[in-house]
Copies of this chain bind each other. A is one copy, B any other.
Amino acid sequence: MSRFVFRCPLRWSDMDAYGHVNNVVYLRYLEEARVAMFFEGARTAGVSTFEGELVVVRHEIDYRRPLVFGPEPIVVETWVTDIRNSSCSLRYEVRNDDLVYAEARSVLAAYDAKAGHARRLTDPERAWLEKFRDDAAPTG
């Protein structure tokens, strides 16, 4: 019902030779948001099984406007749009107070690192994911 909000600090080196944050780096921001959500956030809520057991299957990203380094963090809002047997789908908005810089979607699969193959999402994992389910379109 709620979105996970991560304030992602920029680095000066995120800019490329054209003086804007490089398009590849936006996916780094999404990764940092997922780390905060699935590792720190889920662990705090008692779900510590995602770490090392989530694999990125797919990303889509639409760039809305150029971003320039500054001391203020960019906000990455993340929410869950689909929960399946062994995977889930996320949406993200990369934004500040006024503007949306990118929108993105990912599919993540649960993975049994010891066995080396996909695994089902556990009930506690699914319950935790449900807390961030939001089927609304992004606002940007």
Contacts and interface: CB of A to CB of B under 8 A. Distances in A.
A45 interface: no
Given A17-B17, A27-B24, A32 B57 contact: no
Copies in the complex: 4
10 contacts: A11-B28, A12-B32, A13-B31, A15-B17, A17-B19, A17-B69, A23-B59, A40-B71, A56-B63, A59-B60
B52 A58 contact: no
Chain A, interface size: which category? 20 to 34
A118 interface: no
A54 B11 CA distance: 18
Nearest to A32: B11
